[in-house]
Chains A and B, each alone.
Chain A
Amino acid sequence: MRKHLYAAYTKHLNTLLTLILVGILFLTLRWADTRLDDFTLRILRTGAVYIVAAVSYNLINGITGQFSLGPNGFMALGGYTVALLMLPLPQKKFVWFLKPLIWPFNSFSFPSTGLFFSLALILGGLMGALGAFIVGIPSFRLRGDYLAIATFGFGEIIFVLANNLIPLTNGPLGMKGIPELASIYWCFGWAVIATLIVKNIANSSYGRAMKAVRDDEVAAEAMGVSVFQTKMLAFVVSGFFAGVAGGLLVPLITTISPTLFTFTMTFNLLIIIVLGGLGSITGSVITAFSFAIASELLRAVEAPMNIGPIHIPGIAGMRMVVFSALLVLLMIFYRRGIFGQFELSWDWIRSIPAKVADKEVPKKWTREDTSS
């Protein structure tokens, strides 16, 4: 009975602590919003958008173990949805000067308010989820790595459509003048929502089914887990938040064009989740945010440098060479990433004093190589 009460108590305590943390985050954001300059704020907002995208990507790649290459396609769906809904009508007439915009988007636009922006974001997320559902049907009926091929193909189809469906997307020119609605509160708000939802899914019975599918699909199926449904749930939720991330990115930079959502976007997210640890949500949050800041700092690598008497000319594109080499090296030497499958949680933080007190800590079961 006491044990039961203690469990209920820690659960409520954890919720309370999370709420306090969110409150602290909000106060920090208020401070940042008033004190920091636009450039720094923009980096912080991008970091938050990366958190939304990376956390959702980790749900399918890390927790469910299905290799998707699709977030750029789903982000594009979300981004274009939000752009079409939020672009003001006069601006629409100005943007589509070659061919007219098709109905219904030529007759209405959402007012630039927070309420309608969140509605547009949810619709963008639903588009991403729908895209994930469509790709999921052929891919998840099969065992093997068909998801990687199908999602890549889907991303390319979206790219081709964005370039060619001029009456809907304005082709390669894209759109500009989208109201800058993605304030720091929206970005971090969605980052918190995405993280909490994905983390709760990962800790629920659905999440355990996902991890079972990742570790051994055949065994999971034998235990009564519906492999198709489990993969589909993870993928659709992942697609939803990827759509939201795309929808946040567009009103952040106020323009959209097909090149915004190329495969490089997926590649960056892949580095983030691998570095943070495939399967660790908190790891993804930390690395996603650090990545946004680090990729700004790493611009210095591409600038000309003088180290003492040696002059190194700046090489554009060197960052991506470093990143891709880093990814391969991580996979060979440091496969578990920074966090592995470990989650930073209140329970863990509370257990620190006990661990320090008696050194005998039972080692948690970890996944070793389970390739079939």
Chain B
Amino acid sequence: MSLETFIQQLANGISLGSLYALIAIGYTMVYGILRLINFAHSDIFMVGAYFAFFLIAVFKLPWLVSAILAIVLTACVGMTIDRIAYRPVRNAPRISALITAVGVSFFLENLGLVTVGARPKPFQRPDLMARVIRIGPAAISGVSIWVPILSIGLVAILLYVIYRTKLGMAMRSVATDIDTTRLMGVNVDTVISYTFAIGSALAAAGGIMWACKYPQINPLMGIYPGWKAFTAAVIGGIGNITGAMIGGFVIGLIEIMAVAAFPALSGYRDGMIFGLLLVFLLVRPTGILGETLKEKV
């Protein structure tokens, strides 16, 4: 591999990794609080991209306005899903909540297929993202530069919310012990609702940037990024936000670099990540940064 392609692939891997990181944070936050794998998260990612698409293409809003509106709308969708589908099964056996999550995920995908159709739609990206930037010998597309910067900005805001605000304190508290938090007078349901909103907003941001990177969107676009992001969350240590970010970058870089180094493996790139997941579960199930979760009896 020449230096030129190496730099290009590195930028590619980092931008892909930062997108995985954004989605992984949503998984890890919900898992940290509810111990629930939110299967629908990958489809919320898709919903975010579609909101942005329709706001740009149908309502002809400026790009930035549509992106922000789409993020807000998707956050509302996330809260609605929590309110309608997850809250009623919160005290049910764990398996019921998981089945509900699978059902919601399938519902969103198939609703998307029925309403907007299976045909991929071209996503208009802003000039900023489409422009090609030269760094030394390598030509790098603007997406690869801007996606990591925007992602890191969003994560910085998230970390501020979690560690410096009252809402963040409540979220950390719910993650530690939900019953004690309730006794302290915190409205747990509201906190969980906000957690879903924040996670969905990040997923929407990820979805919009994903659509800028790969400007074709379809109702099933969320499945693979979602699962790989979940793998990233597990690899980083599930429930840990910094871990989710590290996991995201690791997965993104491995996926891009392995295929760049061994082009013959390109057909196996999805399988590779899941293989890595199985290896991690076997060798270090708590992930890179994870600590062993104590069993509450």
Contact = CB atoms under 8 A, between A and B. Distances in A.
Q: Do A and B truly interact? A: yes
A159 B223 CA distance: 14
A315 B112 CA distance: 12
Contacts of A320: 106, 110, 113
A352 to B, nearest CB: 30
Contacts of A161: 268, 271
A160 B273 CA distance: 11
Nearest to B230: A149
Interface stretch (A91-99, A283-291, A324-332): A324-332
A328 B103 contact: yes
A368 B88 CA distance: 15
A156 B92 contact: no
A61 B102 CA distance: 14
A258 to B, nearest CB: 12
A88 interface: no
A114 B35 CA distance: 48
Interface in A146-175: 146, 148-150, 152-154, 156-157, 159-161, 163-164
Contact of B106 (A61, A152, A153, A327): A327
B91 interface: yes
B21 interface: no
A interface, over-half SS: helix
Nearest to B271: A160
Interface stretch (A23-31, A41-49, A131-139): A131-139
Nearest to A325: B107
A164 to B, nearest CB: 4
B105 to A, nearest CB: 8
Contacts of A278: 95
A337 to B, nearest CB: 11
A321 interface: yes
Interface in B76-110: 85, 88-89, 91-96, 98-100, 102-104, 106-107, 110
A224 B167 CA distance: 43
A67 B110 contact: no
A65 interface: yes
Nearest to B87: A332
A34 interface: no
B295 interface: yes
B296 A163 contact: no
A335 interface: yes
Contact of A148 (B88, B92, B98, B278): B98
Size bracket, chain B contacts: 35 or more
B268 A328 contact: no
A343 interface: no
Interface string A42-76: 00000000000000000001000101010000000
A206 interface: no
B91 A369 contact: yes
Contact of A331 (B94, B103, B234, B275): B103
Contacts of A102: none
B281 A371 contact: no
A340 B20 CA distance: 39
B102 A315 contact: no
A327 B295 contact: no
B111 interface: yes
Interface residues of A, number: 50
A317 B119 CA distance: 14
A202 B35 CA distance: 28
B277 A149 contact: yes
A160 B285 CA distance: 24
Interface in A259-313: 267, 270, 274, 278
Contacts of A143: 295
Contact of B271 (A157, A267, A372): A157
A327 B103 contact: yes
Contact of A139 (B99, B271, B281): B281
A142 interface: yes
Contacts of A159: 271
A240 B103 CA distance: 26
A152 B227 contact: yes
A318 B111 CA distance: 8
Contacts of B89: 331-332, 335
A145 B281 CA distance: 12
B97 to A, nearest CB: 8
B102 A138 contact: no
Given A156-B227, A324-B110, A331-B89, A67 B282 contact: no
A146 B285 CA distance: 9
Contacts of A331: 85, 89, 92, 96, 99-100, 103
A145 B37 contact: yes
Nearest to B94: A371
Nearest to A142: B285
Contacts of B177: none
B274 A69 contact: no
A343 B35 CA distance: 31
A304 to B, nearest CB: 15
A245 to B, nearest CB: 20
Contact of B96 (A137, A335, A372): A335
Contacts of A150: 277-278, 281
B95 A153 contact: no
Given A153-B274, A157-B274, A160-B270, A327 B110 contact: no
Contacts of A164: 267-268, 271
Contact of A371 (B37, B91, B231): B91
B293 interface: yes
Nearest to B296: A372
A12 interface: no
Nearest to A134: B278
A107 interface: no
Q: 8 closest A-B pairs (Cβ-Cβ)?
A: A160-B271, A153-B274, A327-B103, A324-B106, A324-B107, A138-B281, A138-B282, A328-B103
Given A138-B285, A145-B94, 10 more contacts: A138-B282, A149-B277, A152-B274, A153-B278, A156-B227, A160-B268, A163-B267, A218-B295, A324-B110, A327-B102
6 contacts: A144-B293, A145-B98, A156-B270, A160-B271, A369-B92, A371-B91
